[in-house]
Structure 1
Amino acid sequence: MNALPASLLALLLVAAPATVLARSSDRNKPMDIDAGSTDYSMDDSRPTTLSGGVIITQGTLDIRSSQAVITTSGGEPVRAVLTGGPAKMKQELDDGKPMTAVANKIDYDLKAEVVVFTGGVDIQQPSGSIAGQRVVYNMKTGQVQGGGPNAGRVKVRIMPKNAQGGG
């Protein structure tokens, strides 16, 4: 496997959905990537593809997917698409509580700071959950949208504070 630049892989860290902050100290930990193969482009002419069972870990962050495709522009990552079997992400939040996300496809537009989860979406954290066929998370505004025309229904569960273990 060829080594990929840290700036290219760091984008995978922010693909995790959370309406609360994921463990911020994870960004300062080493990132380990294990994949069956990689097809890496030294320029922006084509995306970099990791495949064959992709496992990315950094601190408490754990991402597993069949494939990860990273597109760059001007040498900077602009889009990451995780697919397969389904794509699974888990991470500890800053308060130590767990957050998990599962979807058939996770598409993160770094320029717009929007993450689109499609196919069998299930996002869980102690404060609640959201599930459906399509969930869009705008990282700039914190807005989460799900369901709608041609996207099926969405199920949201909001836990009472006393059930979250925090008072």
Structure 2
Amino acid sequence: MKLLRLSALLLVGVLTQTNVHALTDDLTKKAEISADNQNIDIGRNIAIYKGNVRITQGSINISADYLEVYNHGRRGEEVMVFSGKPASFSQTMDDGAKISAQAKDIRFERAKNLIKMSKSVSVKWGENTVSGDAINYDIEKRILNADGNPKNDEQVTTVLQPKEEPQPKEDKQPKKDEKE
């Protein structure tokens, strides 16, 4: 359990040390959904989308095989539950870097700007990765929280890349047989 907490704290430290932010206007953009099929129950405010489901909201992209939207039509209050083999999420940061993730299930709570991912989750931020059974990502606060699955003895795994090796400097002195 200590290793799990340490890994999560280390990852949060790495993520927050970089001065990257989600594109500042993503959360003010409309969400557009496309799919092969849609069925909306207007009375219950539920929509179901099937086949090649894709949602875009600014630079946020989520794709899946299946999507249920609760509170359908209530501006900004929708809860979107995606499933896929796997479903995927990506977002571009202000500096052009990307955060991307894959999971069997993704829940996007628009009112809270929260992405909840479960079942075989893998998140990539720059060159670093974290994987676990459940990972939550607060889009606005840029906080990532990861959990393993104690029932399966599965822990959170974080892979941090080493510092890049400095490139050798070119020798600027003229060679003996070169004229100065």
TM, length-normalised to structure 2 = 0.63
Aligned residues: 145
Alignment partners' CA distance in 2, 1:92 and 1:74: 26
* Structure with more of its chain in strand, by fraction: 1
Q: 1:71 to 1:159 in 2, by over 3 A?
A: same
After TM superposition, the runs of 4+ consecutive aligned structure 1 residues lying more than 6 A away are none
Superposed counterparts of 1:118-133, under 5 Å:
118-126=118-126, 128-133=128-133
Using the TM superposition, give the Cα deviation of residue 66 of structure 1 relative to its aligned residue in structure 2, in angstroms: 0.5
Q: Which residue of 1 aligns with 2:63?
A: 64
Using the TM superposition, give the Cα deviation of residue 38 of structure 1 relative to its aligned residue in structure 2, in angstroms: 0.8
Is the 2:146–2:156 contact (alpha carbons within 8 Å) kept by the matching residues of 1? no
Q: Which residue of 1 aligns with 2:24?
A: 24
Q: 1:60 to 1:79 in 2, by over 3 A?
A: closer
- Give the percent of matched residue pairs that are identical in Structure 1 and Structure 2: 23
Unaligned runs of 5+ in 1: 1-17
Using the TM superposition, give the Cα deviation of residue 160 of structure 1 relative to its aligned residue in structure 2, in angstroms: 5.5
2:157 is equivalent to residue 155 of structure 1:
yes
Amino acid at match of 1:158: L
2:81 is equivalent to residue 81 of structure 1:
yes
Unaligned runs of 5+ in 2: 1-14, 166-180
Cα-Cα RMSD: 3.2
Amino acid at match of 2:120: G
Larger Rg: 2
Using the TM superposition, give the Cα deviation of residue 129 of structure 1 relative to its aligned residue in structure 2, in angstroms: 1.8
TM, length-normalised to structure 1 = 0.68
Q: 1:28 to 1:140 in 2, by over 3 A?
A: closer
Using the TM superposition, give the Cα deviation of residue 59 of structure 1 relative to its aligned residue in structure 2, in angstroms: 4.3
